[in-house]
A = this chain, B = another copy of it.
């Protein structure tokens, strides 16, 4: 078998570059009517029949189970799984968790604390920040069972101070992934159920006799899980709906071409729909990266997925300059953005939209995926234009605090009444006026 990977070659000076780039970026999140219908039925059924429905769907899709009791993991099981791992894996999990925890603690301190101030007249204004009571974390089973995702979802919830973290993870054919269970132990998961699909989302959103209702559900899943999350949104909070993973490398030619080729592979190996793009003003370097791709691909166990992803969705783009590369990067708003430059801090201020920015040759995207500390759950499909990495703030909410002093009410009452009458809301106006002194 001779596999080749030839990402689309583009240059910004090409006639039709814009259209070619747009076509390459195209990805449709269009929903499937069949999936929508199936999911709606499962949600309604679990809402109505609780545990019994969850057990039935689990039997149909995942594994034989007689009752919900069989689908609940005992707390001890998580610990046992952790203790059964080789020491190197235990240590790696613990170190990754510690670094993720310390980053998210810094995040909480920087942006997640309550604050208030008083006006000269004694009026207090502020905002109180509180953790969610209970959250649900969806962990995919089967081929995309990633223990690192358990850490990335559960640790920020724990740092936020969430009272209970409920994990659901399907176990097709009853096979439990010991690394996933061990990660749940390290990350402080409170309870875990071996259920998945739309039925697991329904159980978390509505609650059943056994599964407690949560306030928010995070974590990635297949099309059924995504459709179910969209439908329960409002009833509970949800995180983003993720599209295929993406990496964009902005290279000035100073990073070894092999390293960049492997970074492009590391996104492409996730999924045939994943997207890896290189932007570089140096045509010679682009040729070096293509040569590295040709040389390294045959070594890769997941070469077929990598080749398909690079051939169908990858691109090596020759730009006029690094400045132009930064502009194109802002248009793409990538999930992962590597600045493979000898002077990354020169370019970073020009980069407005990205889930995570990896600066300098040593910062491979894979270090960020596992253990640098920041979250690896990031906005995809250009949503970095308006959304953010999963963080402590996703497991907190804010309440405004207002305490108007008697003196403050005299000033504010007149303004409020004027505007309320202007809007035709007389009770609003009267409520303000009643607080005015004769």
B-contact bits for A373-386, CB 8 A (1 contact / 0 none): 11100110101111
The closest CB in chain B to the CB of A363 belongs to: B404
Contact assessment for A364 and B398 in the assembled complex, using a CB-CB cutoff below 8 Å = no
| Interface check A426, CB cutoff 8 A | yes
Q: Interface stretch among A68-76, A281-289, A387-395?
A: A387-395
Task: A269 to B429: give the CA distance in the assembly, Å.
Answer: 11
The closest CB in chain B to the CB of A429 belongs to: B366
| Interface check A313, CB cutoff 8 A | no
Q: Which of A383-415 contact B (CB under 8 A)?
A: 383-389, 391, 393, 397-406, 408-409, 412-415
Contact assessment for A423 and B111 in the assembled complex, using a CB-CB cutoff below 8 Å = no
Contacts of A127 in B (CB 8 A): 107, 110-111, 374, 389, 391
The closest CB in chain B to the CB of A435 belongs to: B362
Q: How far is the CB of A263 from chain B (nearest CB, A)?
A: 5
Contact assessment for B241 and A301 in the assembled complex, using a CB-CB cutoff below 8 Å = no
Q: Interface stretch among A10-18, A51-59, A165-173, A351-359?
A: A351-359
Q: How far is the CB of A148 from chain B (nearest CB, A)?
A: 6
Q: How far is the CB of A14 from chain B (nearest CB, A)?
A: 24
The closest CB in chain B to the CB of A416 belongs to: B370
B-contact bits for A3-40, CB 8 A (1 contact / 0 none): 00000000000000000000000000100000000000
Contact assessment for A427 and B123 in the assembled complex, using a CB-CB cutoff below 8 Å = no
Contact assessment for A360 and B266 in the assembled complex, using a CB-CB cutoff below 8 Å = no
Contact assessment for B416 and A369 in the assembled complex, using a CB-CB cutoff below 8 Å = yes
Contact assessment for B431 and A262 in the assembled complex, using a CB-CB cutoff below 8 Å = yes
B-contact bits for A100-132, CB 8 A (1 contact / 0 none): 000100110011110101000001110110101
Q: Which of A310-357 contact B (CB under 8 A)?
A: 337, 344, 348, 351-357
Contact assessment for A374 and B125 in the assembled complex, using a CB-CB cutoff below 8 Å = yes
Chain A to chain B contacts (Cβ below 8 Å), 17 pairs: A89-B422, A92-B414, A110-B111, A110-B115, A128-B357, A237-B385, A263-B431, A266-B428, A302-B425, A351-B399, A356-B402, A359-B402, A364-B413, A366-B416, A368-B400, A369-B428, A374-B400
> Nearest 9 A-B pairs (CB), nearest first?
A237-B386, A374-B400, A359-B403, A265-B427, A356-B400, A92-B418, A388-B398, A366-B428, A110-B115
